[in-house]
Amino acid sequence: MAEMMYRDALRKALADAMAADPDIVVIGEEVGRYGGAYGVTKDLIREFGAERVIDTPISEPAIVGTAVGAAMTGLRPVAELMYVDFLGMAMDQLANQAAKIRYMFGGQIGVPMVLRTQGGTGRSAGAQHSQSLEAFVMHTPGLRLAMPATVADAYHLLRQALTRPDPVVFIEHKALYALKEDVDLGAEPPPWGKASVLREGGDIVLVTYSRQVHYAMEAAAALAARGIEATVIDLRTLNPLDFDTVRAHVERAGRAMVVSEGAMTSGVAAELAARISEECFDFLEDPVVRVAGEDVPISVSTVLERGSVPSAGLIAETAERMLR
Amino acid sequence: MNKPMGAEGRAAGSNSDLLGLYRTMRRVRTFEERVGELFVRGQTAGSMLHLSIGEESAAVGVTAAMLPQDTFTTHHRGHGIFLARGADPMRMMAEIGGKEAGYCRGKGGSMHIADMGLGHLGANAIVGGGIPAVVGAGLSARHRKNHAVSVAFFGDGATGQGILYESMNMAALWGLPVLFVCINNQYGMGTRIDQATANTALHERAIAFGLEAETVDGLDVEAVAEAARRRVDGARAGRPGFLAIDCYRFYGHARKDKSPYRDAAEEEAGRARDPVAFARARLLERGLVTAAALDALDAEIGAEMDATIDFTIAADEPPLASMFRDVFAPGEPEPEPVRARIDRVLARD
């Protein structure tokens, strides 16, 4: 076991994957000489050269489109979108091209690329640099979606994403880059597409992913002190979605809460709540409750920013009300 | 990839003598005429059909300059390019009609046809959508040292899209083996090029990015082939290029469009600039072939293309279950059908 930062685990995943597979190239704004806006690709250019760590102009659509063409012709590109908020710029290349090429072309070819980006609140970065847009991706057939919450997953999910045959959108959380955890990267990771059950308790299941995993764990600890035992499920990937694990635990506990930083309406939490309601109906003691982002843009004010997304306090308070 | 074998494509497109170019242009024109007929008969799927009649020299001249290892993307008006590259017209027509025997098993159709064997990385229904892929293919070629050029074909309408400029900038910046081919048929749907931009010398904007760029008259397929050879060879040597080919879209944007936005005199003048008729006249003028021989060739091509219609109408529809195939790679679980989910939800006690 060694202590490692989320950011460094990501960098190590890229470096290890690039060393193992000469067809992996990194392409994006400031990924080379600058080392990445959040330092994830720091020094990769020294190790692998400018032909494999490719600095681009500020051209998000063409960055993603270039990755699509490269992936179709034998490379395994990692395109970086500096903020998930820029997805709108690149959405045609992601949703109309990358996601649909295998299908439209009758299975002739896939697009084995990874689109690395980061989202979420926590840095007072304002409405255009703080969103949680995973629902856009999850709503698009043909895309895989990974959202690591832990340092170990930052490493393993990225390594796994770089072996997948289909496009993977890999959304990091900006507030987790400096997260330090003890990890043993030599240990066998859970398989791709499998959720992690981080804590087991018989009263309620908290289903979540990305940074909210940490809030859910904090809430679960607080609840335990008050005699309420919660299961916490980190989905790790939203596509594939490991609903079997969710179902098994919800059927046992009879209560489920879905926690997501994304805006509540039509969000990931809505999809999860609908599935739980449909598939676990006979086991539910209470309605499935969504604890999600407010339906508002994110403010620069830290008071408003914090208030617009779930907190450990809100999760714990909601669970207590459900069990009262 | 997926090495484009292309031997077949080369055979059809590389016949760079005038008779060969004429023959391929005639095949493109006749194919397009049959596409129109297929639609009129209404016996197959596929409602989005954009014909390239009047633009044959672009498809034929440029593909004649390409090598088997080269790749390309096209716009939505790309039948001619793919056919000239060596596509099987039967499988093309079947795809346009949404049939299982088509290149993409009926899932792609006219605007999403592709064939990795011929290096066709895909037609695109998003204007400009296929352009950046050639930058990626250019990066691959550089990385894999396979001396492949990647060509983006698009219309003048795509010159309104920012992604063209992003892509040209990146190709020039990195000196990639990439060629941008703008088939300027004067219209983006119903908007004439001079109603869409103040500077209609389209190659000038490519020069501004540092590309080697020129405009060629699409009336003369030999001139197009020669310019394309220059540009393809330049791209292969690491000098990315841009080639604008001036032509005229003889018919409407799509099938039902009767072109009310342009007048008859303009259409008449435009259609007089017919690259197929021009090549035919030149062949006769040079005494390379007799009119009777050309008539016989045309009739043979007519019969070949007639067969694509019968084949397509008779071809099988894709099986319904194929809907769930190829969303993801083979071996990955297929999406669960909605009906199966409903059954599961309602199966409770």
Which of B135, B332, B333 has the CB atom closest to A62's CB atom?
A: B135
Distance between CA atoms of residues A39 and B295, nearest Å: 68
Distance between CA atoms of residues B10 and B4, nearest Å: 11
Which of A 270-309 lie inside 8 A of B, CB atoms? 278-279, 281-282
Q: What is the pLDDT of residue B48?
A: 82
Which of A 100-129 lie inside 8 A of B, CB atoms? 100-110
| Residue among B70, B124, B139, B167 with most chain A CBs within 10 A, to mutate | B139
Q: What is the pLDDT of residue B1?
A: 35
The question of whether A60 is a catalytic residue gets the answer yes
Distance between CA atoms of residues B103 and B121, nearest Å: 12
pTM of the model: 0.94
Say whether B126 and A96 touch across the interface (CB within 8 A).
yes
Q: By the CB < 8 Å criterion, does A141 face chain B? A: yes
Distance between CA atoms of residues A172 and A133, nearest Å: 12
CA R_g for chain A: 19
Q: Model confidence over A209-255: pLDDT tens digits?
A: 999 999 999 999 999 999 999 999 999 999 999 999 999 999 999 99
Torsion angles phi and psi, residue B155, rounded to 5 = -95, 175
Which of B134, B163, B325 has the CB atom closest to A107's CB atom?
A: B325
- Listed by start position, the domains of chain A span 2-183, 196-323
Distance between CA atoms of residues A199 and A234, nearest Å: 10
Say whether A72 and B2 touch across the interface (CB within 8 A).
yes
CATH number of A196-323: 3.40.50.920
Q: Which residue on chain B is closest to A59 by alpha carbon?
A: B166
Give the amino acid at A78. V
Distance between CA atoms of residues B132 and B165, nearest Å: 10
CATH number of A2-183: 3.40.50.970
| Residue among A53, A73, A275, A284 with most chain B CBs within 10 A, to mutate | A73
Say whether A281 and B112 touch across the interface (CB within 8 A).
no
From the list B65, B61, B59, B55, the residue with the least C-alpha distance to B10 is B65
CA R_g for chain B: 21
A41 pLDDT above the threshold of 70: yes
Instruction: Find the helix or strand (DSSP H, E) in which B12 lies.
Output: helix B7-13
- What is the DSSP secondary structure assignment for residue A94, as one 8-state letter? I
CA distances from B84 to A55, B6, B33, B60, B250 (A): 37, 12, 15, 5, 19
Looking at the complex, report in whole angstroms how far the Cα of residue A82 sits from the nearest Cα belonging to chain B: 17
- CB of A220 within 8 A of CB of A199? yes
DSSP string, B232-301: HHHHHTT--EEEEEE----S-SSTT---TTS-HHHHHHHHHS-HHHHHHHHHHHTTSS-HHHHHHHHHHH
Spot the catalytic one: A29, A60, A261, A305. Answer: A60
A168-173 and A144-146 strand pairing: parallel
Q: What is the pLDDT of residue A166?
A: 98
Q: Same fold for the domain at A2-183 and the one at A196-323? A: yes
Q: Model confidence over A132-177: pLDDT tens digits?
A: 999 999 999 999 999 999 999 999 999 999 999 999 999 999 999 9
DSSP string, B43-55: -SS-------TT-
Enumerate the residues of chain B whose CB falls inside 8 A of the CB of residue A101: 114, 122
Q: Where are the beta strands (DSSP E) in B17-162?
A: 71-74, 120-123, 150-155
Domains and CATH numbers, chain B: 7-346 (3.40.50.970)
Which residue has 């699409």 as its token pair?
B218
ipTM: 0.94
* Size (chain A), residues: 324
Q: What is the pLDDT of residue B349?
A: 58
Looking at the complex, report in whole angstroms how far the Cα of residue B45 sits from the nearest Cα belonging to chain A: 15
Q: pLDDT in tens for each of the 349 residues of chain B?
A: 333 333 333 333 334 599 999 999 999 999 999 998 888 777 778 778 899 999 999 999 999 999 999 999 999 999 999 999 999 999 999 999 999 999 999 999 999 999 999 999 999 999 999 999 999 999 999 999 999 999 999 999 999 999 999 999 999 999 999 999 999 999 999 999 999 999 999 999 999 999 999 999 999 999 999 999 999 999 999 999 999 999 999 999 987 788 999 999 999 999 999 999 999 999 999 998 999 999 999 999 999 999 999 999 999 999 999 999 999 999 999 999 999 999 999 986 5
Average pLDDT taken over every residue of chain A: 97
For a pLDDT cut of 70, what percent of chain A falls above it? Answer: 100
